[in-house]
Chains A and B, each alone.
Chain A
Amino acid sequence: MIKVAVIGLGKMGLSHHSIVNMHPDVELVAVCDSSRFVLDMLEKYAGVRTYTNLGKMLESEALDAVIIATPSKLHGPMVRQCLEHSVHVFCEKPFCLDTEEGGQLTALAEQNGLINQVGYHYRFVGAFQEVKRLLEIGAIGTVTHVKAEAYGPVVLRPSGASWRNQRSEGGGCLYDYAAHPINLLNWYFGMPSMVSGTVMNKIFSADSEDEIYATLRFGKGLSGQLSVNWSDESYRRMTTKITIAGTQGKIYADRQECQVYLRDGKKMPADYLPGWNVSYTTELTSDVWFYVRGEEYSAQLDYFVQRIKFRQSDNVNSFASALQTDRVMQMLIVDSEQKSRELLNPRVVTEQNPPSWWQRLARAS
């Protein structure tokens, strides 16, 4: 049995707890959180040992692995503490707010030979996996453009501050929402060579952005557009979509379905025909041993457990892959701030204007 502890019992932590606790290869031995009320509930009703101090838990329990689902700002130090105790780590997204620290932690996990994974669950959604497969076999030829979107109803009015709407704490629409479509772009196309035209706009939040728009360039003629808004009440829940255009066809995918248009060509995948092809969740999704809120949440934890069980170091959601996403988010922040500095300081712009006739005259003399 693999001995696991969950650190951070918010929505994601409790969700992971509930799923992994039912895994046939896992014994969930302890939880760690700062809220005594939640710990009391779990101690009394679920019979699990509870801790308010991570160090104490790591000392007292012989753990094989942890699941970290604390507010994002705490990921870095907690991941380090666990890796130093030689414990395999599953960390919620975003991985690490400081990309330099993220790099060090990635190296540390690899040095210590520890399984490392980040909770980008969309890589476990059947429809998005199908997109990956189609891209790998070149089904739509050379890809020229991709649109990555995410919308949903999170911040719908001005409200009090919590970590979730403060960028400095790892909250905000960028880290919470945009991270997902960016992570899918990384999975499909790797790192962009540049980002530009980044707009990060506040709609209701005081301390973070609520919508993000940007252009990404991946080289070899491939461009991408990112469009994300978490203040969109017209969506019942978070919806992530990917649209990809290529020389031989087009792919559209969301969590429910994968729509593919293919031109007649050499690389037609099996079961696909020229023209529109649609496949749905019902056919793209594999069974899971226990279902709480979507197969992908169960599938990613099973994958983590299997990596530990069979000591497989490769991981579709490794720290290294999540670090790419952190880096793109860093690029977007820098790009958006650059724009606002120009606006605040018009002198920068004036200097780039061509010299007037008398300036040229003065220089000539």
Chain B
Amino acid sequence: MDKVLFGDNQFFGVNHMSEEKARAQSMRFRDTQAMIEVLDMAYEAGIRTFMCTTHDRISEVCDYFRKHADSYPGFKFYPGMPYAHKYANAVTDHGIAGTIKRFLPDDGLFDAVVRGGSAVAKKEIDGIATLLIDAEMKMFAGLSTPVIFLQNVVTDFLLGLGMKDAFRIFADHIKTKYNAEPGFFSMNMPRLLDVLEEVGVENPIVCTNINKIGFRMSGGIDLYQETLAHRQFRPIAMSVLASGAIPPREAIEYVCKLPKLQSIVFGASGRGNIRQTKALIDEFMAARQE
């Protein structure tokens, strides 16, 4: 994995600090070309990995990179699925069963499964889960996707429900069908590691909030530090700046000093910002290797 990964929150009006900033961002990135321009800046700054959701508009970005593959040697995608908002409303309107049916490519299977209210077998649910993964992955066909992630809303939701086998199903399918490594976003990293270990997902890639002020690090900053020191996994830090609450230099220095850290993901929309952040990560990552 690269040390620096480029995120996509800024493209979709996700800003944990301010609704106003979020709105300004969604105005700016109304048009896919504006996203490509920022990805170009990231590429010029030496960033080669785009970590993105499976938002419908990412499919247009994928089209662009398929068409211009020659101009971006080494460029790869780390998809994170699903873009949860598209499912959230459907669940209230159609229930869980109705939503799954709507998002499946072929509803024949689903009908067969739930017909007559008969009990559903485990292998049928496994089959449905893998079909849902395939539907989300369609937009990345032909692109390099060496690591494929489960978004934190889904990871943490399954973790909470205690549906541990779901992680195993996801990991196996990503390995066998996509020849890629499974990754997991989570806001509850220490607990997730327990469960991944239990179901046999070894040395997992986990992308989680890691920042100096402990923002959205469930279980507390001390437990995170202890986990980083003692457990076997490959952590990627997100929310390193805690939505701007920590000055960049201080924020990145803190994270880079933590043991095991593999990569940092950040999102930005300006050339200066992208360059500066990349340079800071390079500087402190180099210092840790010395």
Do the beta carbons of A292 and B162 come within 8 Å of each other? no
Task: State which of A36, A38, A237, A256 has its C-beta within 8 Å of the C-beta of B18.
Answer: A256
Does B17 have its Cβ within 8 Å of any Cβ on chain A?
yes
Give the residues in chain A near B213, CB-CB below 8 Å. Answer: 282
Do the beta carbons of A21 and B91 come within 8 Å of each other? no
Does A62 have its Cβ within 8 Å of any Cβ on chain B?
no
Do the beta carbons of A40 and B119 come within 8 Å of each other? yes
Q: A37-B96, A287-B214 are in contact. Are A236 and B161 (CB under 8 A)?
A: no
Q: Bound complex: CA of A233 vs CA of B152, how far in Å?
A: 24
Q: Who on chain B is nearest to A71 by CB?
A: B92
Contact with A along B59-98 (1 / 0, CB 8 A): 0000000000000000000000000010011011111110
Q: Who on chain A is nearest to B124 by CB?
A: A40
Give the residues in chain A near B162, CB-CB below 8 Å. Answer: 21, 45-48
Give the residues in chain B near A291, CB-CB below 8 Å. Answer: 156, 187-188, 216, 218
Main SS class of interface, A: mixed
Task: State which of A15, A35, A239, A257 has its C-beta within 8 Å of the C-beta of B17.
Answer: A257
Interface CB pairs A-B, < 8 A, 15: A11-B91, A14-B157, A19-B160, A37-B97, A41-B120, A45-B125, A45-B165, A46-B162, A237-B85, A241-B19, A254-B19, A257-B18, A290-B188, A290-B191, A293-B156
Q: Who on chain A is nearest to B155 by CB?
A: A292
Q: How far is the CB of A28 from chain B (nearest CB, A)?
A: 8
Does B26 have its Cβ within 8 Å of any Cβ on chain A?
yes
- Report A281-303 residues with CB < 8 Å from chain B CB: 281-283, 287-293, 295
Give the residues in chain A near B117, CB-CB below 8 Å. Answer: 36
Q: A46-B161, A287-B214, A290-B160 are in contact. Are A280 and B245 (CB under 8 A)?
A: yes
Do the beta carbons of A256 and B19 come within 8 Å of each other? yes
Give the residues in chain B near A282, CB-CB below 8 Å. Answer: 16-17, 213, 215, 242-243, 245
Interface residues on B, range: 35 or more
Does A9 have its Cβ within 8 Å of any Cβ on chain B?
yes
Q: Who on chain B is nearest to A165 by CB?
A: B93
Give the residues in chain A near B160, CB-CB below 8 Å. Answer: 17-19, 21-22, 290, 292
Give the residues in chain A near B22, CB-CB below 8 Å. Answer: 236
Q: Who on chain A is nearest to B23 by CB?
A: A234
Q: How far is the CB of A274 from chain B (nearest CB, A)?
A: 22
Give the residues in chain B near A280, CB-CB below 8 Å. Answer: 17-18, 243, 245
Interface residues on A, range: 35 or more
Query: What 7 A-B pairs are tightest by C-beta distance, nearest first?
Result: A18-B160, A291-B187, A282-B245, A45-B163, A40-B120, A37-B97, A11-B91
Does A162 have its Cβ within 8 Å of any Cβ on chain B?
yes
Do the beta carbons of A18 and B91 come within 8 Å of each other? no
Do the beta carbons of A37 and B120 come within 8 Å of each other? yes
Q: Who on chain B is nearest to A22 by CB?
A: B160
Q: Bound complex: CA of A18 vs CA of B243, how far in Å?
A: 26
Q: Who on chain A is nearest to B214 by CB?
A: A287
Q: Who on chain B is nearest to A9 by CB?
A: B96
Do the beta carbons of B14 and A35 come within 8 Å of each other? no
Give the residues in chain B near A46, CB-CB below 8 Å. Answer: 161-163
Given A18-B161, A42-B161, A281-B17, 12 more A-B residue pairs with CB atoms under 8 Å apart are: A10-B96, A11-B92, A14-B91, A14-B157, A35-B96, A37-B120, A38-B95, A44-B125, A45-B161, A256-B17, A282-B245, A290-B218
Does B122 have its Cβ within 8 Å of any Cβ on chain A?
yes
Q: How far is the CB of A283 from chain B (nearest CB, A)?
A: 7
- Report A330-355 residues with CB < 8 Å from chain B CB: none
Q: How far is the CB of B157 from chain A (nearest CB, A)?
A: 5
Task: State which of B97, B156, B163 has its C-beta within 8 Å of the C-beta of A35.
Answer: B97
Q: Bound complex: CA of A153 vs CA of B125, how far in Å?
A: 30
Q: How far is the CB of A175 from chain B (nearest CB, A)?
A: 13
Does A164 have its Cβ within 8 Å of any Cβ on chain B?
yes
Q: How far is the CB of A178 from chain B (nearest CB, A)?
A: 16
Q: Who on chain A is nearest to B12 by CB?
A: A236
Give the residues in chain A near B272, CB-CB below 8 Å. Answer: none
Does A159 have its Cβ within 8 Å of any Cβ on chain B?
yes
Does A174 have its Cβ within 8 Å of any Cβ on chain B?
no
Give the residues in chain A near B97, CB-CB below 8 Å. Answer: 35, 37-38
Do the beta carbons of A236 and B26 come within 8 Å of each other? yes
- Report B159-215 residues with CB < 8 Å from chain A CB: 159-166, 187-188, 191, 213-215
